[in-house]
């Protein structure tokens, strides 16, 4: 396994979706390539640091105020009648952006 092959398997390696034979090859490569060892360690740390440090959490009072505001809007407006929804799905982001651009 060379560095390019290793990089192609990096996502599966982090996500634990890698078969044992390939995992052994990846580990062997990390063991003998210092650059790839650094990439593994620092990428793992990147994920950890983002997971462990939420930049901003919604405070409880704001959470409750937002929920009340949404419920008020929902109760005032109600649900769209079935006839307007028939056969439609929530579009994927790409489809949605395209739809909005055409309006």
Partner 1 sequence: MPARSARKPTEAPDLEAAADDILAAAAVEAEPPHPDVALVERAKAGDTAAFEVLISQYQRQIFRTANHITQNREDAEDITQDVFFKAFQKLDQFQGNSKFSTWLVRIAVNESLMRLRKRKTSKTVSMDQDVETEEGSIPRDFAEWRPNPEQNYNQAELAEILRKTIAGLPPGFRTVFTLRDIENMSTEETAEALGLSVPAVKSRLLRARLQLRERLSRYFRKPKEALQ
Q: By CB under 8 A, name the binding residues for partner 1.
A: 7, 10-12, 14-15, 17, 34-35, 38-39, 41-43, 45-47, 49-58, 62-63, 66-67, 69-71, 73-75, 77-80, 82, 85, 88-97, 100-101
- Cβ-based nearer residue to partner 1, 12 or 25: 12
Smallest gap, in angstroms, from Cβ of residue 102 to partner 1?
A: 12
Minimum Å gap between C-beta 20 and partner 1 is 20
Give how far Cα 24 sits from Cα of 12, 39, 66, Å: 13, 18, 50
Structure tokens at 91: 């579009």
> Shortest gap between Cβ of 30 and partner 1 (angstroms)?
13
Please check whether residue 9 is in contact with residue 22, taking contact to mean a CB–CB distance below 8 angstroms: yes
Choice between 24 and 58, CB closer to partner 1: 58
- The torsion of the CA quartet 24, 30, 32, 33, rounded to 10 degrees, works out to 150
User: In angstroms, how far apart are the furthest CA atoms of the chain?
Assistant: 65
């Amino acid at each position: 396994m060379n560095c390019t092959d290793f990089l192609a398997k990096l996502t599966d390696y982090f996500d634990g979706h890698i078969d044992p034979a390939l995992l052994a090859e990846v580990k062997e490569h990390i063991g003998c390539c210092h650059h790839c060892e650094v990439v593994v360690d620092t990428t793992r740390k990147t994920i950890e640091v983002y997971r462990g440090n939420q930049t901003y959490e919604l405070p409880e009072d704001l959470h409750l105020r937002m929920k009340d505001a949404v419920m008020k809007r929902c109760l005032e407006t109600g649900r769209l009648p079935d006839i307007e929804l028939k056969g439609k799905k929530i579009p994927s982001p790409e489809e949605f952006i395209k739809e909005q651009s055409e309006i």
